[in-house]
Amino acid sequence: MPQKVAEYFEELEDIPGTRVFTAKRARKGYWLNQFCMSLMKHENRERWRADERAYLEDWPMTDEQKEALLARDYNRLLDLGGNVYYLAKVFSTDGLSFVDAVSTMTGMSVDDYKKMMMAGGRSPKGVRSIKEGN
Amino acid sequence: MAKITAGVATSHIPLIGVGVDQGKQDDPYFKPIFAGYDWTKEWIMKPENKPDVVIMVFNDHASAFDQNLIPTFAIGCADEFQPADEGWGPRPVPVVKNHADFAWHIAENLILDDFDMTIINKMDVDHGLTVPLSAVFGQPEEWPVKVIPLAVNVVTYPIPSGERCWKLGEAIARAVESFPEDLKVQVWGTGGMSHQLQGPRAGLINAEWDQKFLDDMTANPEHLPLIPHIEYLRETGSEGIEMVMWLVMRGALKGQVKELHRHYHVPASNTALGHIVLENGA
């Protein structure tokens, strides 16, 4: 084994503004992510749109996860074990593109975020490591 | 005998698929995105270059696989694969046809070569697999090549190391060489380059790192499998990790590998688009 497992996972937590989708997060977010998958079916999207709160009753998620979903608080959902490819089923159902939805996690407006991308994106300078501050 | 003639890598950004499906190739935003594929489109359809089979290394984005089943390496062995409905209906693209005898041969050889492959017979394929085909082949009635899907988990950690991906590529090359049919084969690595789709750090792009990665495909390939996950994540964003799939492609090539074409453009949606065509050595 090239590296100690504990060190491997510790490093993954050392990136500013990033939640790497580790097995630990995946366990926490299992039902949240499986709920998201259900929105790949048209009839489920219709039920979700008709009454979001009622649709969530079918899913054994925590209240926190349900509230974060209703609020479309994507950073919170990442903290609660969500993964962006799963959460994409929620924002796609809302008619949002990846750029629209992703920008909401950055504290920037969609327009400012788009401008940043057109100008070459966010520099890695200063956001590589929490410990190193580089 | 089957022979790997070239390796191709390309991003599989969903927006490229949107551009093709909605005929936006001449739109000012899309023009520079598609211009970089013109060379490849012409090159790949010349009879001396056109592959019979593409081994497509890609990742599923919570389409065919959910949290119930997370195969590290999986190979599609069915005769065909339908485009997935990713939440807005399936893409209007042809069904992906496999060369199932060859796929099974590769699966058998990989397993006996100590790669514990998952075999898949039913799998809808998402943008990870269909966008590279659209970028290179446009909108044909049928895809002009057979495609063997090879899925890598790059979503739920831990994912396979760069070194493991490289060695899988080497094992694929051995498996291809032992197939008796005369076939021209290309291995495609998809995904990347730098991008982060989550959290306050979203939008990260590192053109300098990406360009060096492209350079090292020919200049310093032995360095590539040694890049640890944490470097991809820190330097190229959380989704930049997809570049380990390029290493399966590069690991399948040997000898003096020659760069034939390169395309790099920022942005396509949230992502740095990267594309390279490599001629296999002897």
Is the pLDDT reported for residue A101 higher than 60? yes
Beta strands B258-268 and B271-279 are: antiparallel
Positions of B marked catalytic: 127, 195
pTM (2 d.p.) = 0.97
Q: What is the pLDDT along chain B (282 residues), one digit of tens a residue?
A: 999 999 999 999 999 999 999 999 999 999 999 999 999 999 999 999 999 999 999 999 999 999 999 999 999 999 999 999 887 789 999 999 999 999 999 999 999 999 999 999 999 999 999 999 999 999 999 999 999 999 999 999 999 999 999 999 999 999 999 999 999 999 999 999 999 999 999 999 999 999 999 999 999 999 999 999 999 999 999 999 999 999 999 999 998 999 999 999 999 999 999 999 999 997
Is the pLDDT reported for residue A104 higher than 90? yes
- In this structure, what DSSP letter does residue B197 have? -
Which residue is it, tokens 């070569």?
B113
The mean pLDDT of A58-77, rounded to a whole number, is 98
Task: Classify residue A53 as exposed, middle or buried by CB count within 10 Å of its CB (0-12, 13-18, 19+).
Answer: exposed
Q: Which of A39, A60, A59, A61 has its CA nearest to residue A50?
A: A39
Over residues B164-196, the pLDDT tens digits come to 999 999 999 999 999 999 999 999 999 999 999
Is the pLDDT reported for residue A2 higher than 60? no
Q: Which of A105, A130, A131 to mutate to test the interface with B (most CBs of B within 10 A)?
A: A105
C-alpha–C-alpha distance, residues B190 and B57, integer Å: 6
Is the C-alpha dihedral spanning B129, B132, B136, B139 positive or negative?
Answer: positive
Distance from CA of B63 to the nearest CA of A (A): 8
Considering only residues 93 to 112 of chain A, which have any Cβ-Cβ distance to chain B shorter than 8 Å? Answer: 93, 97-99, 102-103, 105-107
Is the pLDDT reported for residue A1 higher than 70? no
- Do residues B251 and B175 make contact, with C-beta atoms less than 8 angstroms apart? no
Question: Residue B204 forms beta bridges with which residues?
Answer: A122
State residue B88's pLDDT score: 77
Name chain B contacts of A75, Cβ cutoff 8 Å.
199-200
State residue B238's pLDDT score: 98
Distance from CA of B134 to the nearest CA of A (A): 20
**Torsion angles phi and psi, residue B268, rounded to 5:** -125, 105
CB contact under 8 A, A84 and B201: no
Helices B229-236 and B207-219 cross at an angle (nearest 10°) of 140
CB contact under 8 A, A93 and B269: no
CB contact under 8 A, A3 and B228: yes
Residue of chain B with shortest Cα separation from A130: B234
- Measured distance between the N- and C-terminal CA atoms of chain A, rounded to whole angstroms: 28
Helices B162-177 and B244-251 cross at an angle (nearest 10°) of 30
Tokens matching residue B238: 């959380």
The mean pLDDT of A78-103, rounded to a whole number, is 96
Q: Which residue type is seen at B73?
A: F
> Mean pLDDT over all residues of chain A?
96
Partner-chain residue, chosen from B15, B88, B266, that has the shortest CB–CB distance to A92: B88
Q: Which residue type is seen at B15?
A: L
State residue A3's pLDDT score: 67
As a three-state string, the secondary structure of A20-65 is: CCEHHHHHHCHHHHHHHHHCCCHHHHHHHHHCHHHHHCCCCCCHHH
Name chain B contacts of A24, Cβ cutoff 8 Å.
none
Q: Which of B77, B281, B71, B245 has its CA nearest to residue B164?
A: B245
